Structure 1
């Protein structure tokens, strides 16, 4: 449930699903994005539309994939989450990067076991293996294998689905209030300090930015994988 642009990687989700026959045996795939009735003027979205149709045809996914236009009605979205939850499904957020992850919060709030990108906000929201699962969008084969493992385990032991569902609900209760407020207060403090240093001389401001980069962002940037040549998910 996202925009149909490259960074959201919805076509990557369809591709990893199409490449895994066992996953197709276990579950169907519902994708919510784009607008079928209103052709996009954005070239990137046009390319993703074409790629989506091509993948569905290439892997013969008719009957396995339901592609629904993006929904603007919040009540309808909530009902869709609940329907998938009632049928013991799961939610997958495969973005190459997600700053926060509102749909992850929504899905977990509805009790859906959630698989989400390991790059960005969802990695902080989900405790891997307890309240959901982290997936690497650059490694579609491993992501699909993790989904297969989950659904096969749920077939053998239905309580496993409930365990992850309950873990997600508990995590959201903790995250959306206590942890979120703590991080908000931290950001407020950082913003206040930034307003202070922004009034200093340019040389001092530059030193502050270099310190922030060296202590925080250089380490974060080093964890982001480079695109692997030949990996279809990174093209």
Structure 2
């Protein structure tokens, strides 16, 4: 990568940022990158959830992230960010180059993706939403456990019915 930077005279055009351990500084770092109309790239082979993706998008950074795992659900490809397959680096590079070319041709494009990313996070990934869902699930589980008093065999039948009616279709999709 460093040789490509030299060959194409990209010095000063992008930065490698190592893993950050100072959480208070992360938001400031993301803001600085956003202020210079940069982008966040998370090229992991797999990411279970994608907290860095949520953080970057909430700081208004257009985000490119792995299509394997959580970021595939967080990002709406081409709307609020971009999926990339780290197993195909040429396609990922082409996607990033295409994004910055569109930004050069249409200065409002960066803001369009940035705003859509913030909107996506505010609609689905805030602490308020998470805590409300958690409390709802806890309430449903607590109520079900209190009311049902099911034996082990009955519980297993209930879970099998749930799997057959709902989960199996989700897995196959």
Compute the displacement of 1:217 (Å): 5.8
Check 1:181–1:167 CA distance in 2 against 1; reply closer, same or farther (3 A cut): same
Distance 2:148 2:35 in 1: 52
1:124-144: CA deviation from partner (whole Å, max 9, x where unpaired)? 332222211222344333222
Compute the displacement of 1:148 (Å): 1.6
Within a 5 Å distance, the mapping from 1:112-191 to structure 2 comes to 112-177=61-126, 180=130, 183-184=133-134, 187-188=137-138, 191=141
1:122-174: CA deviation from partner (whole Å, max 9, x where unpaired)? 33332222211222344333222211211121122222111111211222222
Check 1:206–1:128 CA distance in 2 against 1; reply closer, same or farther (3 A cut): same
Distance 2:60 2:91 in 1: 24
- Could you tell which deviates more after superposition, 190-199 or 119-128? 190-199
Provide the aligned C-alpha RMSD in A.
3.5
Distance 1:29 1:198 in 2: 57
Distance 1:144 1:171 in 2: 24
Check 1:212–1:120 CA distance in 2 against 1; reply closer, same or farther (3 A cut): farther
Q: Give 3-state SS (helix, strand or coil) of 2:16's partner.
A: strand
Compute the displacement of 1:219 (Å): 3.7
- Structure 2 residue 41 is the aligned partner of structure 1 residue 92: yes
Could you tell me which runs of 5 or more consecutive residues in structure 2 were left unpaired when the two chains were aligned.
none
- Deviation beyond 6 Å, 4+ runs, structure 1: none
In structure 2, what is the equivalent of residue 216 of structure 1? 167
In structure 2, what is the equivalent of residue 203 of structure 1? 153
1:43-64: CA deviation from partner (whole Å, max 9, x where unpaired)? xxxxxxxxxxxxxxxxxxxxxx
Compute the displacement of 1:193 (Å): 6.8
- Structure 2 residue 94 is the aligned partner of structure 1 residue 108: no
Could you tell me which runs of 5 or more consecutive residues in structure 1 were left unpaired when the two chains were aligned.
1-13, 34-70, 224-235
Distance 1:146 1:26 in 2: 20
Aligned length: 166
TM-score normalized by the length of structure 2: 0.72
